[in-house]
Amino acid sequence: MDSDGTRPKCPRGLLTNDYYDNIETFISAAYETGHDFLATPIVHPKYGDRVNGYKGKQLQEWRARPVYDRDDLILKKAQSQEVTLGLLSKWLKLDSKDADLRVNSEIALRQEIQWACHLGLFAVATPCLPSKGSVANLARVLNHAVSAMSVTQLFVHVKVADVKDLESNRAWKQWNKLRNLTEHNPKIGIILELTFHLPKNEMLLDMWLAEPVKAIIIPAEIFVSNPKGYPVLKKSHQAFVKKLMEKTAPYIALTIPPTQIHPMAVPNSYCEYINFLNNHLSKMDPVEQFAFGYQDFLQNPLQPLMDNLDNSMYATFESDPIKYQEYENAVYHALLDRVKDGSDYESVVMVVGAGRGPLVNCCLRAADRADRKIHVYAVEKNPNAFVTLQNAKAETWHDQVTLVFADMRKWKPERQCDILVSELLGSFGDNELSPECLDGAQKFLKPDGISIPCAYTAYVSPMASSKLYNEVASYKDLTHFETPYVVMFQKTCELAPSKPVWTFEHPNPQVDGEPTDNLHNVRFASVDFQAGPQDMIMHGIAGYFEAQLYKNVMISIHPQTHSPGMFSWFPIFFPIRTPLQVPAHSNVSIQFWRATDEKKVWYEWSASVENDEGDVTADTPIHNVGGRSYWVGL
């Protein structure tokens, strides 16, 4: 990423299934025309013809010890191997009903992959998956093969749609079948080929964003000519390619036009067009720039009650301009409403969880804007942050601010406040225990006092993300599948728009004085989602929050209402242990619990899939029972 938010460029390559006898000349021509890599067959087609012609003892000898002759190979030696993608032979049919062809294909595929790894190719790609039929033996062989591949990557060639039935998502079903057979093997990626026609159902395209798409093939035949005669993509293809470029940054392989004859005349107009798309991707917004390099990176949620934040963490959160702008607006409007008669009344504002003081500054700026007198109490329990507050008081705030070193739940103030301000929210709204903290601080407020925020709502949606599922699965234990993570989503796809699960309000009318228990903060919700007209897979649950600071002043990470440019919070991801198959038009039901005892708060969650008749076709166990894997300490 450049400093101006320009996205990284996608490598552009040339894919050929020809030029067997002069591959070195072709490689030179490809690089001279601006291509970054080359995709080419590894083995000459005549090798397959010869192998499948073997009979009897000759076949037995080859199967026992398959060895290439030099003339069997297109790639005979290591040459630009770090920028070469090897195409496995098209004749390989690992799920053929012909036993000889099936066995020969398995042996030859292993042989080709071993040669590619010996050369050090950066990747190999399988022949295109069939639109129907078994892929079980292919999955088994690939699963074995990738276990021995360290540098060379393996891509499964998949067409984006079945050309005979665009809206069936049959191509994805075949990929999903293979992916399930390999247990979501993270070493197996996709090289996705665009077809001349794309599905009209946008979800059939967006679902590929949640898959491990490492490269895309753009055949020359799907380009059209613009008024100046240059090759361009149709708007539908261009939009999809740009979305892939922004979300997955794939290798882009262009095929040679069918009219092209001579290898030295490799056209560069197609490559120039991809370069044009690269240069005209949308600039990263402030949130994307802030999160660059951390997309789809699992982070444990903060526990500010148990753990004191360090200086760098405070500095990161304080760099968010939008959050504090909205807090200032909320305090400004609250002060105007608090004193409407123009009297010389001084409002008392308490900032609880003051940190290094950004909310104190918001309150003081709001008072200046509103031309109101205020006195601020800054309450903080972190002894290190409290030193910073002392510095700010001595150097800037002086008598306008009173510092209090205390836990807001236990401090007994001598006077009550007009406005109570806090920023205790987490990615799920209540997951950093804002309800429990503000229950304890509520006694600070006058009976008609104002809490900022005054309410916040948690949202969930079913989500697909092969990347996030594999990240969690790599730990190979139950604990990580029962732990929520803060994640900047990138290679993800929501199966349906998010819905609310619960809301907390402040001041809380259920709290009168010191709460004797925490049962009023227990929650349960069951939310139903309708799947679209395509089969999908669910890897987990996405979580968001939307907060009302005061009246119409809001902050939100909920996709439908996200505060533009605010990056203090990433969404939260709740994994599920076994991905759920979600057939077209089925119902996805998510159950969520917020539970508590005297020492901790935790979440439990489960999901199920039902058909049109209400029968459960897939479900999960309840995750994190009793907070056995994840909890937040009180």
Can you give the pTM of this predicted structure? 0.92
**Which is nearest to 532 in space by CA: 504, 561, 570, 494?**
494
Instruction: State percent of the chain over pLDDT 70.
Output: 97
pLDDT in tens, 257-279: 766 555 445 678 888 999 999 99
Q: Tokens 């900032």 sit at which residue?
A: 351
Q: What would the pLDDT profile of 417-430 be if each residue is shown by its tens digit?
A: 999 999 999 999 99
**Angle subtended by helix axes 321-338 and 358-370, to nearest 10:** 50
DSSP state letter for 65: S
Q: Reply yes or no on whether the pLDDT at 372 is more than 90.
A: yes
Homologous superfamily assigned to 455-633: Hnrnp arginine n-methyltransferase1 (2.70.160.11)
Query: What is the rounded distance in angstroms from the CA atom of residue 154 to the CA atom of residue 189?
Result: 6
Residue 422 β-bridge partners: 352
For residue 453, cis peptide bond before it (omega within 30 degrees of 0): yes
The residue count for the chain: 634
> What pLDDT band is residue 614 in, cutting at 50, 70 and 90?
confident
CATH superfamily of 311-423: Vaccinia Virus protein VP39 (3.40.50.150)
pLDDT at position 342 over 70: no
| pLDDT at residue 256, as a whole number | 82
Q: Are 390 and 404 in contact (CB under 8 A)?
A: no
Return the SS3 of 258: coil
Backbone angles phi, psi at 555, to 5 degrees: -130, 145
Mean pLDDT of the chain, nearest integer = 92
Phi first, then psi: what are they for 91, rounded to 5°?
A: -75, -10
423 is catalytic: yes
pLDDT of amino acid 302 = 77
**What percent helix, strand, coil does the chain show, rounded to 5?**
35, 25, 40
Pair 431, 398: CB distance under 8 Å? no
Q: Could you give the CA distance from residue 351 to residue 418 in angstroms, rounded to a whole number?
A: 11
Question: Residue 583, preceding bond cis, omega within 30 degrees?
Answer: no
CB 16 within 8 A of CB 49: no
CB 467 within 8 A of CB 190: no
| Integer Cα distance of 466 and 539 in angstroms | 7
| Homologous superfamily of domain range 12-218 | Divalent-metal-dependent TIM barrel enzymes (3.20.20.150)
- Alpha carbons 192 and 48: distance in angstroms, whole number: 25
Number of helical (H) and strand (E) elements in the chain, helices listed first: 17, 27
Q: Please report, in range form, the residues annotated as the binding site.
A: 314, 323-324, 380, 407-408
**List 432, 436, 471, 494, catalytic entry:** 432
Whether the CB-CB separation of 174 and 158 falls below 8 Å is answered with yes
Q: What is the mean pLDDT of residues 535-548?
A: 97
Q: What are phi and psi of 30, to 5 degrees?
A: -65, -45
Measured in whole angstroms, how far is the alpha carbon of residue 9 from the centre of its chain? 20
Domain extents in the chain: 12-218, 311-423, 455-633
pLDDT at 303: 77
- 340 pLDDT band, cuts 50/70/90, is low
Higher-pLDDT residue of 313 and 385 is 385
- pLDDT band of residue 3 (cuts 50, 70, 90) is low
List the catalytic residue out of 112, 211, 328, 423: 423
Question: Which residues fall in the annotated binding site for S-adenosyl-L-methionine?
Answer: 314, 323-324, 380, 407-408
Q: Is 395 among the residues known to form the active site?
A: no
